[in-house]
Structure 1
């Protein structure tokens, strides 16, 4: 088996560990709910030991980690890598710490860029997914999530610029803490309502805070059932995001579009992009681990 390193995808709410062989193949996967925001009193050793202490003790191989573990709320803050960013540059910018005087943990830096009107943007973890997704040259990557990322990628997987849309977070806030959620019933699924919401959002991105209110008024007018409203609102928000991103990435929209991430979210974004006239492709599985392998190879950890 001859493991070369332990891959850690340590995010806000979950922790995934993968034992990787010397030729870059997956030996074993594990997951646990020990995300960064669940760690008490900054005791990061406990969730790490719970998921892979035996690997560390038996194999003594280093750890390569990405995600929120390198954020200001994480174990140690790993400085952002400025765009344009490549796997080779990330390998040279590891933030390294010793874990219980046993092995080194190499934290991959996040990526930052400056946007329109000097609006700054950042990502942590998505860069690793992109570098492991088999992205071709001159591609536009879309990574749906709580904070969705639209990323322009050049030759050799170079991240040139990107933008964040907090669509998932807005959905959670509006449904759980706002008046829109008062009329909703959750637990069902209505694709027709989702498509209707996408259509509305795509048409009126300049009036985003106005069209979002339609998720309330359409029920007040008895034109949609409570169980369909969550999907309708989801569609509106994703439609607004896609239309906004189309304007922001106008020069990139002729490139191949690649969706990376959760299956259900990627399916929704594919529908929205198809409604806007595009034909996105879907990235394969294990993009994060493959990204870790690529960066580890650049760092000389994998042969």
Structure 2
């Protein structure tokens, strides 16, 4: 059992919350930074022994207070569309942790961040430029900060994207009509990952810093087409899910955001793919899409029935 203390930022979030639970299970002490200390999640973590800190990424004293006595930090600020706020917030966390004497910093970035400057038709004028720039600059700031250990995790698409608020934005006819409108080719695959797997990788890194030190790791559970994913949902939940492939113009006219095209364009142009052989070197049993849907069957049915 370790007595090392890890500061988990955005601890009420999907990955942050999963990481707090995972770290506690493995015997770490946890400082959980949250906006709402009265939330059910925060109270449950406090019952389990985590120290709960109310904080804000712009409130430096709150970050400094939460960082006292920590050995490691999970850097996980939230993107703010059209701004570089995520970068500023992440640097605030990095600085507070370093000043407090933390030895290990781990940042959750996103796949393809390291090659974003190779994206075709991409630059400061692009609507998504600040999103990528914030992540890229955070990665560089983490590397330069002088921690004894650092690790970057770059996950693909969260599987819970298909059964929560983000789904209503990316796939506007999915929840109500049970149709996924897709402007990308039928053969195109999605790099899907269970958010709990990200937490497991992070926990493994904190537990074995030498193995993970200095590594930036692209994460995914598996590659799967939308058609095959829709079939999994249909077979497991009994709710018939269809995929309708459209032109970009028609998809846009029906509310599908252009961001879906950008990601596929860049992935295709750069022949980008996850190195699954590399992932096999780490002691994590990745969750398949089928396992995820089975594990979250009730939540998915509830989402699709609302």
TM-score, normalising length from structure 2?
0.34
TM-score, normalising length from structure 1?
0.34
Structure with greater Cα Rg? 1
Q: Where is the strand percentage greater, Structure 1 or Structure 2?
A: 1
